Amino acid sequence: MSQDPEDVAVLPPPRRPGATSADVARLAGVSRSTVSHILNGQVTRFAEETVGRVRDAAARLGYVPSAAGRSLVLGRSDLVVLAVPNTTLTNVQDIIEAIAADLDDLGYSVVVHFDRGGGAAANLARLQHVVDTLRPAGIVDLGSLSLRDLDTLEEQGCPILSPRPRHVRGVDEGNLAIARTQAEHLIDRGYTALAYAFLVDHRDDPFGRMRAAVVADVCAEAGLPAPTAISVPLDAAGAQTALCDLLRARGRPVGIACSNDEVGLAVSFAALALRAAVPGDVGVIGVGGGSVGQLVAPRLSTITFDVRASVGTIRRGVAAARGGVAEDDDPTLSPEIFLVLQGETT
Amino acid sequence: MSQDPEDVAVLPPPRRPGATSADVARLAGVSRSTVSHILNGQVTRFAEETVGRVRDAAARLGYVPSAAGRSLVLGRSDLVVLAVPNTTLTNVQDIIEAIAADLDDLGYSVVVHFDRGGGAAANLARLQHVVDTLRPAGIVDLGSLSLRDLDTLEEQGCPILSPRPRHVRGVDEGNLAIARTQAEHLIDRGYTALAYAFLVDHRDDPFGRMRAAVVADVCAEAGLPAPTAISVPLDAAGAQTALCDLLRARGRPVGIACSNDEVGLAVSFAALALRAAVPGDVGVIGVGGGSVGQLVAPRLSTITFDVRASVGTIRRGVAAARGGVAEDDDPTLSPEIFLVLQGETT
DNA sequence: CGTGACCGTTGACACGTGTCACCGCGCTCC
DNA sequence: GGAGCGCGGTGACACGTGTCAACGGTCACG
């Protein structure tokens, strides 16, 4: 403090530590308020020459506003929490990547929050803690939260950027729409006997049971007999045994909704080995949208997220939370359509 | 402010807004400093009864410290930036999930940062911006950064939690160790003619070229002829054509390092269709560790990250950055071993 | 000439936290 | 009986930002 301020202005550290807005103000010869206003877009209220000086000083110092300072005064951060369900969607990486890229362009950073074992209540509590701590600008839910959870979080002032899930009868978990879509697809293809294939030896997954329950609901709605549940191990012999038992019990044709693409491929391979026609004798639909499923013959029918639609919807959610409208809003993107069918061949 | 403070203490909002440490102090009848000290572990310096009162008050109010406030005063946040390379590692989701879970237990949140098109310099600049803004507690690199990038970031006071990549001769990109491991595996298996299979029609990927260059280096070191580069489309017919051309040019046997598991499976299927023995006439190794590769016969040799080792190493890095030692440090986890071979059958 | 409006700019406050230095008190020891 | 010491606890500051209210000056208008 005994140092001449002029010295500080004469020797602007070009890259060393994080320059503050006070440094910018000093270098530009204005007050810190002015810097803050100009750098936040209040340009019209200042002389053009001042705006130039401030911007130049900021650029010269490599000034980057501190997220901590901003969050503190604004009461919310520039973070978006991405809630990822504990499911095996093969292209989850692509989805996260696309969302992160889009939000990055908008100036947000993405904090990932994965569901973990311990039940829905524990996961909500963990998410709650993160929200309380980080005060994020919003939450994007990939199907991990129930409608009630979403409402709870929104009530606490944390906007939900993702669309409300398509309503599923009897349940409120968004990702269960996957199971409904699977069942409806198989029924559309003419299968009147359905089965649900679990992945044997998978980590504790209350999820699978709920999906199977949704398939049962759809069958009941359509007046079809209740689906059979089978467990499929991820090896050729085991899968054949499981499928063989199913065919003996239910006869042909049978449509099998699988808990993921790996199970779907195992079932599909097993059917071919058993000389069953796919599709025809056996209908198969997976979940995940993995590229391998599209590599084999016949291509595996599978369900995945529509990355483009979800990104567009989230972009719209961000704009709404900001109180504006997205510049490049694409009205053809329905906020309801999140799931998409790939390779409708099995 | 005209309100009696007693009133505030009598009506503690149980869940409504984010209670501050001042609220806790008021309710417990102590100063804010005391609350801060006790809640940060300075327990021995206070009377047991006071500690109890403070903790009770904090619990009753559902107090959660503000990340913004902490970050501001500490100069660093409780965020960890995870730099994800633009590669098709099938199990990247698992890796992210495992790392996020582990860091979550340690009290950190994970901000994902994906490589995007635009080149290494642009990606580094984006990462730099995030680091300047967020002041993260550390960076975990999954192979996106060069050694020089890592040094640059560490110099700026942002510790690198992930291990320095195994040194690869002539290059400094960590993920290129993948290509070296692939090549060495094929050579170990007795193949003296090598090829590198690109994914045709993939997004612009300077990555693939560099991997192929590493394979060429390994061949040169081992005194083998330079590898052939082929492009493999993800359909059965196209893959067969590509493989057929290769076999005609190079003869048998040939070991093929593939840019990912999908290419590996395509090559493997094509070889079987061409009545070539796998392994034997054709050796195949992919990248990604996808479960489908382990489902088919023969199981695909593939390279993936050792999730357990990487998590252990990162945990150690966190402890080191904190200036302590991880409680449950497992000394059997070498910080060098990140890559692991799965299903060594093709 | 007085009053009001407008322009460009600024001072001051609040946000919530961690921590350094300090304070009072009761006890012990010479 | 006074000095010293440890215990238990606290006041005050700093961190970096956004924004409200207010400032001085100039110009137009009555």
CATH code reported for the domain at A75-162 = 3.40.50.20
Terminus-to-terminus CA distance in chain B, angstroms? 75
Domain A12-65 has CATH 1.10.260.40: yes
Q: How far apart are CA A64 and CA A19, in angstroms?
A: 7
Q: What is the pLDDT averaged over residues A248-255?
A: 90
Q: How long is the CA B322 to C1' D28 vector, in angstroms?
A: 66
pLDDT the model gives residue A335: 44
pLDDT digits (tens, 9 = 90+) for A110-160: 999 998 877 778 889 999 999 999 999 999 988 788 888 888 898 888 888
Cβ atoms of A345 and A298 within 8 Å: the answer is: yes
Taking the CA atoms of chain B, what radius of gyration do you get in angstroms? Answer: 27
Q: Do B111 and A113 touch (CB under 8 A)?
A: no
Mind spelling out the 3-state secondary structure of chain A?
CCCCHHHHHHCCCCCCCCCCHHHHHHHHCCCHHHHHHHHCCCCCCCCHHHHHHHHHHHHHHCCCCCHHHHHHHHCCCCEEEEEECCCCCCCHHHHHHHHHHHHHHCCCEEEEEECCCCHHHHHHHHHHHHHHHHCCCEEEECCCCEHHHHHHHHHCCCCECCCCCCCECCECEHHHHHHHHHHHHHHHCCCCCEEEEEECCCCCCHHHHHHHHHHHHHHHHCCCCCCEEEEECCCHHHHHHHHHHHHHHHCCCEEEEECCHHHHHHHHHHHHHCCCCCCCCEEEEEECCCCHHHCCCCCCEEEEECHHHHHHHHHHHHHHHHCCCCCCCCCCCCCCCCEEEECCCC
**A274 pLDDT exceeds 70?**
yes
Q: How long is the CA A325 to C1' C5 vector, in angstroms?
A: 34
Q: What is the pLDDT averaged over residues A42-70?
A: 91
CATH architecture of A173-307+336-341: 3-Layer(aba) Sandwich (3.40)
pLDDT the model gives residue A180: 86
Q: How long is the CA B122 to C1' C13 vector, in angstroms?
A: 39
Nearest nucleic acid nucleotide to B66, CA to C1' distance? C16
- Closest partner residue to B64 (CB to CB) among A67, A78, A133 is A133
Q: Do B292 and A261 touch (CB under 8 A)?
A: yes
Nearest nucleic acid nucleotide to A74, CA to C1' distance? D18
Q: How many residues does chain A have?
A: 346
Q: How long is the CA A21 to C1' C7 vector, in angstroms?
A: 24
Q: Do B290 and A295 touch (CB under 8 A)?
A: no
Q: How far apart are CA A124 and CA B159, in angstroms?
A: 31
Measured between CA atoms, the residue of chain A closest to residue B291 is A262
Closest CA to A93 of B114, B309, B162: B114
Q: Which nucleotides of chain C are near protein (any atom < 7 Å from a CB)?
A: 7-12, 14-21
B 127-186, residues with C-beta < 7 Å of strand C: none
Angle between helices B92-105 and B307-322 (to 10 degrees): 30
Domains A12-65 and A75-162 share a fold: no
Protein residue minimizing CA–C1' distance to D15 = B73
Instruction: Please state the φ and ψ torsions of residue A303, each to the nearest 5 degrees.
Output: -120, 135
Q: How far apart are CA A300 and CA A264, in angstroms?
A: 7
Q: Do A269 and B296 touch (CB under 8 A)?
A: yes
The domain locations on chain B are 12-65, 75-162, 173-307+336-341
Convert B38-55 to b/e letters by CB count within 10 Å (16 or more is b): bbeeeeeebeeebbebbb
Confidence of residue A332 (pLDDT cuts 50, 70, 90): low
Best mutation target, A109, A142, A203, A287, to test chain B (most B CBs within 10 A): A109
Within its chain, how far is the Cα of B108 from the centroid?
15
**A165 pLDDT exceeds 50?**
yes
User: Which range, A155-169, A282-296, B223-237, has the best average confidence (pLDDT)?
Assistant: B223-237
Q: How long is the CA B185 to C1' C7 vector, in angstroms?
A: 74
**Strand C contact with A133 (CB < 7 A):** no
Chain B residues whose CB is inside 8 A of the A134 CB are 67, 109
**A10 pLDDT exceeds 60?**
no
pLDDT the model gives residue B54: 93
Amino acid (1-letter code) at residue B319: A
Q: How far apart are CA B126 and CA B157, in angstroms?
A: 17
Structure tokens given for B19:
């209670």
pLDDT the model gives residue A339: 64
Nearest nucleic acid nucleotide to A36, CA to C1' distance? D18
Q: What is the pLDDT averaged over residues A33-37?
A: 94
Q: How long is the CA A47 to C1' C4 vector, in angstroms?
A: 23
Tokens 């040169």, located at residue: B220
**A166 pLDDT exceeds 70?**
no
DSSP-H helix ranges across chain B: 5-10, 21-28, 32-39, 48-61, 67-74, 92-105, 119-134, 147-155, 177-188, 206-221, 236-250, 261-273, 307-322
Q: Distance (Å) from the C-alpha of residue A306 to the closest C-alpha of chain B?
A: 18
Cβ neighbours, 10 Å, residue B66: 21
Q: Distance (Å) from the C-alpha of residue A108 to the closest C-alpha of chain B?
A: 10
Measured between CA atoms, the residue of chain A closest to residue B117 is A101
Rounded percentage of chain A residues whose pLDDT exceeds 90 = 40
Instruction: Please state the φ and ψ torsions of residue B250, each to the nearest 5 degrees.
Output: -105, -10
Rounded percentage of chain A residues whose pLDDT exceeds 70 = 82
- Closest partner residue to B297 (CB to CB) among A71, A112, A236 is A236
pLDDT digits (tens, 9 = 90+) for A180-210: 889 999 999 999 999 999 887 655 455 677 8
Confidence of residue A108 (pLDDT cuts 50, 70, 90): very high
CA distances from A248 to A229, A245, A281 (A): 14, 5, 12
Chain A residues whose CB is inside 8 A of the B234 CB are 291, 294-295
Would residue B89 be called left, alpha or beta, if left means φ above 0 and alpha means ψ between -120 and 50 degrees? beta
Chain A residues whose CB is inside 8 A of the B122 CB are none
Q: Distance (Å) from the C-alpha of residue A170 to the closest C-alpha of chain B?
A: 30
Protein residue minimizing CA–C1' distance to D20 = A33
User: What pTM was estimated for this model as a whole?
Assistant: 0.82
Q: Do A135 and B68 touch (CB under 8 A)?
A: yes
Protein residue minimizing CA–C1' distance to C7 = A45
Angle at A79 between CA A74 and CA A81, to 5 degrees: 130
Contacts of A313 (CB under 8 A, 6+ apart): A162, A163, A333, A335, A338
Q: Is the peptide bond before A5 cis (omega within 30 degrees of 0)?
A: no
Nearest nucleic acid nucleotide to A18, CA to C1' distance? D16
The more confidently predicted of residues A144 and A17 is: A144
What does the pLDDT profile of chain B (346 residues) look like in tens digits?
A: 334 343 333 333 345 567 999 999 999 999 999 999 999 988 788 888 899 999 999 999 999 999 999 999 999 999 999 998 876 655 677 788 888 998 998 899 999 999 887 777 888 999 999 999 999 999 998 878 888 888 889 888 889 888 765 544 444 455 677 888 899 999 999 999 999 998 876 554 557 778 888 899 999 999 999 999 998 888 888 899 999 999 999 888 999 999 888 889 889 989 988 999 888 899 999 887 766 777 777 888 888 877 777 788 788 888 777 766 655 555 554 444 456 667 667 7
Instruction: Please state the φ and ψ torsions of residue A243, each to the nearest 5 degrees.
Output: -70, -40
